[in-house]
Each structure stands twice: as C-alpha cells, then as structure tokens.
Chains A and B, each alone.
Chain A
Amino acid sequence: LAKTTQPISMDSYEGQEVNITCSHNNIATNDYITWYQQFPSQGPRFIIQGYKTKVTNEVASLFIPADRKSSTLSLPRVSLSDTAVYYCLVGDMFNDYKLSFGAGTTVTVRA
C-alpha cells in the first residue's frame, strides 16, 4: 500500500475554497486515489475517487497531476458543516483493494 502524507490540520472561513494536498510518492500504476470525510462520532464517508487529471462531483473536485505523486482535494465554498477530518487513501481498486487510513487532515471552518 502506498504511503500518503497530508497536513495535520487546516483552518478556513465560510465561503472560502479549501484545498488539501496529499503526497503519495510511491503510488503504483494500478493505484487509485480516494478521499473520505469523517465527522465526529460517525464512520468515514466516501467523497471522491480518481486515477488521473481531474474528477468533479457535487461535493468536491480532485486534481491529479501527470506524475500522480500527489493529489489535491478541493472543497468549494465551505460551510461550517464541512468541519471534519479528511483522509487521502491510495490503493489498487481491482486487486484485493484495501483502505489504509493515515491520521487525516482536520479541517476547521469558522464563521
């Protein structure tokens, strides 16, 4: 499983865009990048997944450069309810896919 590195915490204000960058220098050819969100007293929740370039859904965007050694989760116009821990995970989704969670990034949104 590729090791990931992401900031421990980030602060933001309502209405701003939050970008969380994750480093995964030893990502393998078959690995996908997945982000989960976890609120206090809840289990993690899938946000977005991608392999290369850019992926966008109703919640977030995921930017992956050509070398795939890093990725950036972008949360547009955050609100107080986006305060959570965000986990970046890398793994082979087609072969015995497992999730290996790090400590995640605690995002705090202030009014």
Chain B
Amino acid sequence: EAGVAQSPRYKIIEKRQSVAFWCNPISGHATLYWYQQILGQGPKLLIQFQNNGVVDDSQLPKDRFSAERLKGVDSTLKIQPAKLEDSAVYLCASSGQLSNEQFFGPGTRLTVL
C-alpha cells in the first residue's frame, strides 16, 4: 500500500513569510497527525485529527499555525508569519481504526532565514 505522502520535501523562506505543507495519509486512515521535529529532538505533536475534526491541538501555536482537514482525507498545515524558531522538519502521520500504530511520511524540512 502507498505510504503517507508529504510535499514539498524542502522549503526555504524568510522570516515573516507564509508557508504551507500538504499531507496525504494512507487510504482509509481516519486519524492524522502533524508533528514538529527540531534538530536533535524527538517529534512534538502539533495537532491530531480524527476524520475532519480536531482531537488535540494543545501544542499548536495558534497565533501563527493553522491546520485543516476539510474532507477527512488530506491535510494542510500553514505557518503565517514564520519565525526563525520554526525551522524544523514537519512530519505528518496517520493511523487506522484497528491499530494505534502511526505511519509517518518523509517530512518537510523548513528553513526560515
């Protein structure tokens, strides 16, 4: 089966610019996650969707970050405006109904200059 797809793989922007990342989960997976992974650290959960509803966004900096999953399939994460400390890899993961195993995409590496 196809894995979790993410695009773009790399993005370089200047601070105060906006950026968006896209994720297409594994077909049929109801739960979708966005993580932020700063160099040298483990991934940090930003937001979790169950179908198109938000389950947990407690660690999402809502003043600049937003995410949506309008049709319960693919999802977009946006940063507006970006700060230097947003430089990280943004990982998308999905899991199915019968298992809590999360399948991760390759990530998007964001560099904010």
Binding site for B on A (CB under 8 A): 34, 41-46, 49, 85, 87, 93, 96-104
In the bound complex, CA of A44 to CA of B104 (Å): 6
Main secondary structure of the interface of A (DSSP, over half): loop
Given contacts A43-B91, A49-B101, are A98 and B45 in contact (CB under 8 A)? yes
User: What's the tally of chain B residues with a CB closer than 8 Å to chain A?
Assistant: 22
Cβ contacts B32-54/A at 8 Å (1 or 0 each) = 01010000111111001000000
Binding site for A on B (CB under 8 A): 4, 33, 35, 40-45, 48, 55-56, 91, 93, 100-107
- Asked if B41 and A97 make an inter-chain contact with CB atoms under 8 angstroms apart, the answer reads no
Question: In the complex, what residues of B have CB within 8 A of residue A34's CB?
Answer: 100
- Asked if A41 and B106 make an inter-chain contact with CB atoms under 8 angstroms apart, the answer reads yes
> What number of A-B contacts does a CB cutoff of 8 Å give?
45
Question: In the complex, what residues of B have CB within 8 A of residue A45's CB?
Answer: 104
- Asked if B41 and A44 make an inter-chain contact with CB atoms under 8 angstroms apart, the answer reads no
Across the A-B interface, give the 7 residue pairs with the lowest CB-CB distance, nearest first. Answer: A43-B104, A101-B42, A93-B100, A97-B100, A46-B101, A101-B43, A43-B91
- Asked if B101 and A99 make an inter-chain contact with CB atoms under 8 angstroms apart, the answer reads no
Say which residue of B45, B48, B56, B105 sits within 8 Å of A43 (CB atoms).
B105
In the bound complex, CA of A100 to CA of B106 (Å): 19
Given contacts A49-B101, A98-B56, are A42 and B42 in contact (CB under 8 A)? no
Of chain A, the residue at the smallest CB distance from B50 is A96
In the bound complex, CA of A104 to CA of B41 (Å): 8
- Asked if A43 and B42 make an inter-chain contact with CB atoms under 8 angstroms apart, the answer reads no
